[in-house]
């Protein structure tokens, strides 16, 4: 599964992945992108803008976001929450939580790099299982239950500091 707005390099890489299907999600006009993969037209599905992303993530084996700019990239975290390994460029906040070989791989906006990293990951079922497990574990770290506890601890620290009752900052849970 790939995001259409930034997917040109990924779509160009797709012919290297024989036997697989590519689901492209996004609101851009797919016409220019269709020209990128003429040999695999029957294996590329342009789904348009969708609101049923959890179901799409569940049907996918990996998620790719070859993007030049992101802030935190919630879409990558959503994919990880569905235990999908993420293949994304290190842009915006993605590099803060995407760890090569742990929950996915950092890619360059280069079709050969994307194809090589996907091929290597899919060729090793044990690696793919570890990436899926790592993606799910990463998403738990950023889940609202854990983030909420961190915010509460931070607010307690701020309040204590205002009252002058704390000499050292409270360590937030890792």
Measured at the CA of 148, the angle between CA 145 and CA 153, to 5 degrees, comes to 130
Q: Which token pair is 16? A: 């290297």
* Residue pair 7/29 in contact by the 8 Å Cβ criterion: no
Q: Rounded mean pLDDT of the chain?
A: 83
Q: Which helix (H) or strand (E) holds 19?
A: none
Q: What is the C-alpha separation between 140 and 82, in angstroms, rounded?
A: 11
What DSSP letter does each residue of 102-132 carry, written as one string? Answer: TTEEE--S-HHHHHHHHHHHHT-HHHHHHHH
Q: Which has the higher per-residue pLDDT, 118 or 166?
A: 118
**pTM strictly above 0.85:** no
* Residue pair 62/87 in contact by the 8 Å Cβ criterion: yes
* Whether pLDDT at 17 is above 80: no
* Whether pLDDT at 26 is above 70: yes
């Amino acid at each position: 599964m790939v995001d259409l707005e930034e997917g040109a390099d990924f779509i160009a890489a797709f012919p290297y992945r024989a036997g697989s299907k590519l689901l492209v999600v996004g609101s851009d006009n797919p016409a220019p992108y269709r020209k990128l993969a003429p040999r695999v037209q029957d294996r590329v599905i342009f789904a348009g803008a969708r609101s049923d992303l959890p179901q799409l993530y569940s049907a996918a084996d990996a998620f790719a976001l070859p993007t030049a700019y992101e802030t935190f990239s919630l879409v990558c975290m959503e994919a990880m929450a569905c235990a999908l390994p993420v293949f994304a460029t290190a842009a915006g906040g993605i590099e803060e939580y995407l760890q090569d070989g742990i929950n996915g791989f950092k890619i360059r906006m280069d079709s050969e790099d994307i194809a090589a990293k996907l091929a290597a990951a899919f060729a090793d079922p044990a690696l793919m299982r570890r990436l899926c497990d790592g993606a799910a574990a990463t998403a738990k770290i950023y889940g609202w239950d854990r983030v909420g506890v961190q915010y509460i601890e931070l607010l307690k620290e701020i309040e204590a500091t205002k009252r002058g009752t704390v000499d050292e900052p409270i360590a937030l849970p890792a």
